Amino acid sequence: MAAQETVDHKYVYDFSEGNKELKDLLGGKGANLAEMTNLGLPVPPGFTITTEACQAYLATGQQPDGLAGQIEAHLESLERAMGKRLGDPQDPLLVSVRSGAKFSMPGMMETVLNVGLNDQSVVGLSAQAGGNDRFAWDSYRRLIQMFGKTVCEVPGEEFEHALDEAKSAKGTHNDLDLDADDLRGLVDAYKKIFSKHTGREFPQQPREQLDLAIRAVFESWNAERAVLYRRQERIPADLGTAVNVVTMVFGNLGPDSGTGVAFTRDPASGAQGIYGDYLANAQGEDVVAGIRNTVPLQELEQLDKTSYDQLLGIMARLEEHYKDLCDIEFTIERGKLWMLQTRVGKRTAAAAFVIAGQLVDEGLIDLDEALHRVNGAQLAQLMFPRFQLDHEFQPVAKGIGASPGAASGTVVFTSARAVEMAAEGKSVILVRRETNPDDLNGMIAAQGILTSRGGKTSHAAVVARGMGKTCVSGADEIEVNVPAKRFTVAGQTVNEGDVVSIDGTTGKVYLGEVPVMPSEVVQYFEGSLDPEHIDNALVRAVHRIMTHADGMRRLAVRTNADTGADAARARRFGAEGIGLCRTEHMFLGDRRELVERLILARAPGEREAALEALLPLQRADFEEIFREMDGLPVTVRLIDPPLHEFLPPLEQLAVNVAVAQERGEDVAKEEALLAAVRRMHEENPMLGLRGVRLGLVIPGLFAMQVRAIAEAAVACARGGGVARPEIMVPLVGAVQELETVRAEAEKIIAEVVGDSGVEVLIGTMIEVPRAALTAGQIAEAAEFFSFGTNDLTQMGWGFSRDDVEGAFFWRYLELGIFGISPFESIDRDGVGRLVRIAAEEGRAARPGLKLGVCGEHGGDPDSVHFFHEVGLDYVSCSPFRVPVARLEAGRAVVETGGSDSR
């Protein structure tokens, strides 16, 4: 039975058998080649070996049973269709062997071209190409080079070096000046390099070449750079890559051939039009590597109008079919156009919004789909500041705005140095002539990337856009000298360690640090840009999509704010109330002294006096916030942290006292303070005397705060405003704690509020696991719950929130124990389960119980979706995250079809 299953398992799909939905199995490239084949577009025939075959190979180190036979059968049918045999000496079929995972991993894995060439078939290829010996030998040397490097790990520089020698022997810098004899000589040199490193001759059997290349592509899934890229992009490690075996077509057969890459819209700004690069008489890898300078795609119209028109027609068709921005790779072989790849193209955050808006206008997608196509991380990126430029700052160079943003930093020239300096906390700009996959570490570490070569489709541009990192590419006025660690531009020299600023939107490069200003999107949220009356495609698209998100979302969005200024800003950003006003911040600065008196109080009346002095100050704090949030709910949390946080650190105080004593000074006051600090010292303060425990232990403290809140609300109401205070008790673990605080608070509220019409709710944070597990009981004494997921994560996992992220999370991430810190994005299975239980049991006990979250997770996109699903009423987050949460709350509805567990 098992044997039967293995034999039947299908590992190889002809392009005519797949479609774009099969990305898991055929990888992105294979699925889209199949889709284009089925659309009747000119795709060179070929087949795809599935990701399952790769997974099986990586698990066992062996090709799975049946794979070899299936490859054979598909190769035979390819040979029949083409009327040629792989590597035939007279008229060889040649194939490329290309990786293609589910998620695009640009340049991370391997490709081998021209498989099927050997000492005989190179002659056949030349005849096939009309006696073009030069082309045939150039193709053969490329095979040995790629095969040697990729399949047999021969150091690539050795081939480069031999090529350079051949060129200098010829007195040229240009590959194209090497003639057939030179290239024949180069093939000999390459073969020697190959056998020196591998101890064997370059394989002459075409089928052996094919099998070894397929294995090498499988194995490249686990290459170091691919692993690093996956970790960075959060691509699961077990997907594996598919392998595409595609009939070779040649862009290097002469001036009527060439190769290019294109986007159906500008991937940086989203503007409509045709964006691409074309390189005549070249193969695809020449474009991506930026080895020769490309021309804009529009120039193809002059070179080959028929192919140009056909290409434009295909691009329009692809956009309509995919209903999205597509990027493509194509080759023209002697006037015949071939499509080598398409996919829904990566784009910048700005382009994502602009394109989604345009596609709605064009009737290709609806607003729900537009909302689905953007995300909170992109919106957050659009809220980053931009350079504030005045005449003082003149650009020294202008390249291509390859990935937007404004970045300033210290110049470094190598990936290793970028990593080192970033580890020292420096912001760095990685400057290279062009980047390649080995630069990935440095690109991750850098704030921005600047290259002197390459276009919008160069490695640097594609990878930076994927990471959301600022990049200027192709700034060709810059002369980069990596060994000397400097670049020169406009007669000036910039050394490693100097500071430059790069603008990834305009492509401009500045010397020194340029100051920054708020982004247009922030200005729009602030209300200072009117989307209806400005000519700014991005702001209009953001406005339209945000409006739709607001119309769709069920979750309200509040903010965490404890000053009037923050509250006002958050309200402009769309906050519908305050979900967490942390009152401890109001006890700092010049009020510290009062707090010290409160803590140190010994004599009768001392504590009361301190509280009495604090009361009007607190009342003023709350009045300001209620005024800013007029008409909206404001959750004020009673004081939470351990009180000793308001006192000087023990060690420092002890030293001061000892020194003063030594000098014979009067230290009575300091000694009292030291004694108090000693008395209050805790080994685990986060699990000690804090939150509700303080309220129960220090008489009058919570009462003072409750009175200040109620009085401020009444003052607001008397002034014609509407204050809607919600008093929140922190760190509750048992209903009895809450009941005790509540009883006292209710008395004060009744006394203060009188007939003012002010209504004050009393509720609790759910941030201790026991509270979540006894939520049914706690709900009896609470009108609302607000999940404090910071502490709930701390206590749920037993992770000190102040220490563990720096201490060992890197190892947990490496081991895959979690994919992201649970302090950043909610741990759905564990901490999330506590939230779910508390929500369900709380609501069961008190229907209408208001539920919100005010931990950091309230502004995290993925967590917002979770809180929608469990049926909370609102999320609360820092002011700058409010728009992100609004967007994601709308997206959560669109993505779940509106369902949640309420």
Select 122 or 854, whichever has its Cβ closest to ligand PEP. 854
CA-CA distances (angstroms) from residue 108 to 31, 147, 150, 198, 714? Answer: 19, 16, 12, 24, 64
Q: Which stretch binds Mg ion (CB under 5 A): 229-237, 336-344, 597-605, 763-771?
A: 763-771
Picked from ligand PEP, Mg ion, none, the partner binding residue 854 (CB below 5 to 8 A depending on kind) is: ligand PEP
Among 128, 209, 247, 789, binds ligand PEP (CB under 6 A): 789
- Distance of closest approach, residue 791 Cβ to ligand PEP, in angstroms: 3
Q: Which residue is nearest to Mg ion (CB)?
A: 791
Q: Does 791 bind ligand PEP (CB under 6 A)?
A: yes
Q: Which stretch binds ligand PEP (CB under 6 A): 24-32, 178-186, 496-504, 788-796?
A: 788-796
Select 462 or 854, whichever has its Cβ closest to Mg ion. 854
Q: Does 822 bind Mg ion (CB under 5 A)?
A: no
- Distance of closest approach, residue 867 Cβ to Mg ion, in angstroms: 17
Among 788, 858, 859, 890, binds Mg ion (CB under 5 A): 788
Picked from Mg ion, ligand PEP, none, the partner binding residue 729 (CB below 5 to 8 A depending on kind) is: none
The letter for the amino acid at 118 is: N
Select 349 or 765, whichever has its Cβ closest to ligand PEP. 765
Window 639-678: contact mask with ligand PEP (x via CB under 6 A): -x--------------------------------------
Gap between the Cα atoms of 344 and 632, Å rounded: 43
Q: Which residue has the tokens 């090709």?
A: 63
Select 519 or 789, whichever has its Cβ closest to ligand PEP. 789
368, burial (CB in 10 Å: exposed 0-12, middle 13-18, buried 19+): middle
| Contact indicator for 541, 402 with CB cutoff of 8 Å | no
Number of residues that bind ligand PEP (CB under 6 A): 10
Residues 621-640 that bind ligand PEP (CB under 6 A): 640
Helix (H, G, I), strand (E, B) or coil at 506: coil
Select 413 or 785, whichever has its Cβ closest to ligand PEP. 785
Contacts of 665 (CB under 8 A, 6+ apart): none
- Distance of closest approach, residue 583 Cβ to Mg ion, in angstroms: 13
Strand partners, 761: 726
Select 133 or 767, whichever has its Cβ closest to ligand PEP. 767
Among 110, 576, 623, 767, binds Mg ion (CB under 5 A): 767
| Contact indicator for 497, 427 with CB cutoff of 8 Å | no
Helix (H, G, I), strand (E, B) or coil at 166: helix
Pairing of strands 761-766, 784-787: parallel
Q: Does 790 bind ligand PEP (CB under 6 A)?
A: yes
Q: What is the H or E stretch that residue 450 is in?
A: strand 448-451
Q: Does 409 bind ligand PEP (CB under 6 A)?
A: no
- Distance of closest approach, residue 786 Cβ to Mg ion, in angstroms: 10
- Distance of closest approach, residue 582 Cβ to ligand PEP, in angstroms: 5
Select 182 or 791, whichever has its Cβ closest to Mg ion. 791
Window 832-871: contact mask with ligand PEP (x via CB under 6 A): ----------------------xx----------------
Select 403 or 774, whichever has its Cβ closest to Mg ion. 774
Select 788 or 842, whichever has its Cβ closest to ligand PEP. 788
Residues with catalytic roles? 459, 854
Q: Does 791 bind Mg ion (CB under 5 A)?
A: yes
Query: Treating both helix axes as pointing N-terminal to C-terminal, what angle do 606-628 and 592-600 enclose, rounded to 10 degrees?
Result: 140
3-state secondary structure 318-349: HHHHHCCCEEEEEEEECCEEEEEEEEECCCCH
Query: Treating both helix axes as pointing N-terminal to C-terminal, what angle do 537-552 and 882-896 enclose, rounded to 10 degrees?
Result: 60
Strand partners, 93: 86
Instruction: Spell out a b/e string for 797-831, using b for 16 or more CB atoms within 10 Å of the CB, else e.
Output: bebeeeebbeeebeebeeeeebeeebbebbbbeeb
Gap between the Cα atoms of 464 and 457, Å rounded: 11
Q: Which stretch binds ligand PEP (CB under 6 A): 392-400, 538-546, 655-663, 785-793?
A: 785-793
Helix (H, G, I), strand (E, B) or coil at 476: coil
Among 566, 621, 767, 827, binds ligand PEP (CB under 6 A): 767
Gap between the Cα atoms of 186 and 141, Å rounded: 7
Select 632 or 692, whichever has its Cβ closest to Mg ion. 692
Gap between the Cα atoms of 93 and 86, Å rounded: 4
Gap between the Cα atoms of 54 and 68, Å rounded: 13
DSSP assignment of 296-311 equals EGGGHHHH-HHHHHHH
- Distance of closest approach, residue 9 Cβ to Mg ion, in angstroms: 52
Q: Which stretch binds ligand PEP (CB under 6 A): 430-438, 507-515, 746-754, 789-797?
A: 789-797
- Distance of closest approach, residue 584 Cβ to Mg ion, in angstroms: 11
Residues 557-586 that bind ligand PEP (CB under 6 A): 580, 582
- Distance of closest approach, residue 12 Cβ to ligand PEP, in angstroms: 52
| Contact indicator for 206, 116 with CB cutoff of 8 Å | yes
Residue 425: count of CB within 10 angstroms of its CB: 6
Number of residues that bind Mg ion (CB under 5 A): 3
Contacts of 750 (CB under 8 A, 6+ apart): none
Picked from Mg ion, ligand PEP, none, the partner binding residue 559 (CB below 5 to 8 A depending on kind) is: none
Q: Which stretch binds Mg ion (CB under 5 A): 16-24, 511-519, 565-573, 785-793?
A: 785-793
Q: Which stretch binds Mg ion (CB under 5 A): 384-392, 712-720, 759-767, 842-850?
A: 759-767
Q: Which residue has the tokens 């002659």?
A: 123
Instruction: Spell out a b/e string for 590-623, using b for 16 or more CB atoms within 10 Å of the CB, else e.
Output: ebeebbbbbbbbeeeeebeebbeebbeebbebbb
Q: Does 405 bind ligand PEP (CB under 6 A)?
A: no
Q: What residue ranges bind Mg ion (CB under 5 A)? A: 767, 788, 791
Q: What residue ranges bind ligand PEP (CB under 6 A)? A: 580, 582, 640, 767, 788-791, 854-855
